[in-house]
Structure 1
């Protein structure tokens, strides 16, 4: 064998090894809950595979109400516009801790259960957040009284109360079952926007170690309660660097999805900062996700009242770019806000200025709605 042929053979051997190693690393995708149900494991694996096809589109509270209606069976503002439901439905557990019959958005928990089951049965994905009250003061989630986070930890003055809140959440989650009686897999996003300053669990109200203890305790506690259908989504608000994103990170063994929330506030025709910031942050979490074999998500976004008629195709798509994002979710269509005297919504409805562009967004090959999710069948191998 000549020297050049020998070098060439080494190159091909090395290439084969790299290809094999890459395929092996794909199979190492695993959930933080080692007792996860089979359907939960399937969903997680398929969410990873689906990133090669496109991004699942989601909407908060989509089935419960819209900009000008409430509790109409089978209705959705998104469906009114494009003839299809979102592929991801967002809901919130806020209110369970006080044993309310309605959640923080006023949706009866019985109805929310019904909507979750309906969406799942059609092949969509369910994601849940939780705005729990302040465990120290009893105030709402936005009460940032100092040491509130520490009070919820083992040994803290509010720890037993906090455990009782987790009990209520566990009981509710265990009622979310499909036609066969199996637990519905849930993308669970606790203690969201932690790099902000507005919730009692945010980074200004506790040390990195305290937050990590809170996160790990929650995951371990749910597992002890038999809640093995949760995919855990680590979620921040804005961050400036890799170190910033990971400062409060509980560790790769305790997280399944990396994500952030970011909203548009300035006019995108005059200010490109939303796109630039999103691209920077996706670049950071994408690299971390590749290193840790995880998936990424745009867990919350939107432009209130969507005044720019091309926001979907011209701004949001540029903000996400070419990154392999599992899903993007826009916030809820609350409708008229009496206190602020304005409309509050993040998805278009019939006649809204961005309606046509949203149809164009829907028709993009790499944006997936519920019919696409049903064809993919995210809950099967």
Structure 2
């Protein structure tokens, strides 16, 4: 590990590299960001969405986790979402409330884990969900737009929530915040084809400035996130600028059998190559913010498909999507094996790799100090 740390200082010793976009970021947030840089030379943190809240065939059972039950350890990174908070609903989904989520986020921090939050923001123009891309929306929520005050009220609510999350040490919990994700896709109202690149940049900058400067929220690490892209220019087309971004990432899912179709690995490798170049040029921490193979119907997904997709590229973490279990549509929806699943052995081998970091490993790194 000493060699890894020395390598880090050789490659990234310039203090400018590890400075957050927010100059007033809390000490714990700054420390987390510095340590995210360090982990690039140590390994890849593994993350899982809603890990502590539910899994396949269980809901809200204290300290339970499908990852724990299969790998023998918790994830290093825990993903959450604040969808519906802007509408004053109790929670993003009907399994747990935002109040309960706050307690779980605080527990992760107290244990030394890392939290990341996305926001499937409702459409402020139509009042429908994030997937309602039927109308051009962004212009209406920018300054002087008809929905601008409404949008600010939404930012007030999430800012209040961010400022309420504190650990046992009474310090604000640092959060990797990933708003307006998968922006190169066309399925959300903020996505490609639903606004101009300049409108997206303006939305991001206003959101950042309002939350950081107006509401004085200084415990966020801001992540820019895309879906598919084919060039550096496409990835950066709506990029708001280095002063507004701390991390960069993309989401990619496997949907076909990798035995017969290697496109997931090929596409991921291409995108990692592009993102790696951008990360070095712009001095940003890269990550794979969402991935997975629903129901994992391939017994070598982790050790072969995913590890081949990542290859030798240096990323801070990879996060698998949630383990909902049986949905209302009578479909099994999960991305990490549960106890007894045929993919359990492959996932255990993935856990045992020197390159993968779970909670026990990053507890030793003391990410907030």
Which residue matches 2:3? none
**Residues 26 and 293, structure 1, Cα contact 8 Å, conserved in 2:** no
The gaps in structure 2 that reach 5 residues or longer are: 1-7
Is the 8 Å Cα contact of residues 92 and 104 (structure 1) preserved in structure 2? no
**Distance apart, 1:78 and its partner CA:** 0.4
Question: 1:299 is matched with which residue?
Answer: 289
Partners of 2:359 and 2:62 lie apart in 1 by 17
Q: Which residue of 2 aligns with 1:338?
A: 328
User: TM-score, normalising length from structure 2?
Assistant: 0.95
> Is the partner of 1:100 in helix, strand or coil?
coil
CA distance in 2, matches of 1:110, 1:291: 40
1:29/1:140 CA distance change after superposition, 3 Å: same
Conserved in 1, the CA contact under 8 Å of 2:184 and 2:192? yes
Residue 240 of structure 1 corresponds to 230
Cα distance, 1:156 vs structure 2: 1.1
* Alignment equivalent of 2:106, drawn from 105, 117, 135: 117
Aligned partners of 1:98 and 1:177: how far apart in 2? 23
On the 8 A contact 1:129/1:189 being kept in 2, the answer is yes
* Matching residue of 2:345: 356
Query: 1:207 — aligned with what?
Result: 196
How many Å separate the matches in 2 of 1:150 and 1:57?
A: 37
Q: State the match for 1:179 in structure 2.
A: 168
Query: In the alignment, does 2:215 pair up with 1:225?
Result: yes
* Contact 1:25-1:293 at 8 Å conserved across structures: no
2:318 paired residue number: 328
CA contact (8 A) 2:42 2:355 kept: yes
Q: TM-score, normalised by structure 1?
A: 0.92
Matches within 5 A, 1:56-205: 56-104=45-93, 106-205=95-194
Larger Rg: 1
Q: Which 4+ residue blocks in structure 1 deviate beyond 4 angstroms? A: 19-24
- What residue number does 2:4 align with? none
Residues 40, 231 of structure 1: 8 Å contact kept: yes
Structure 1: unaligned runs, 5 residues or longer: 1-18
Number of aligned residues: 361
2:82, 2:91 within 8 Å by CA — same for their partners in 1?
no
| Residues 55-91 of structure 1 deviation map (CA, whole Å, 9 limit, x = unaligned) | 0000000000001100000100000112210000000
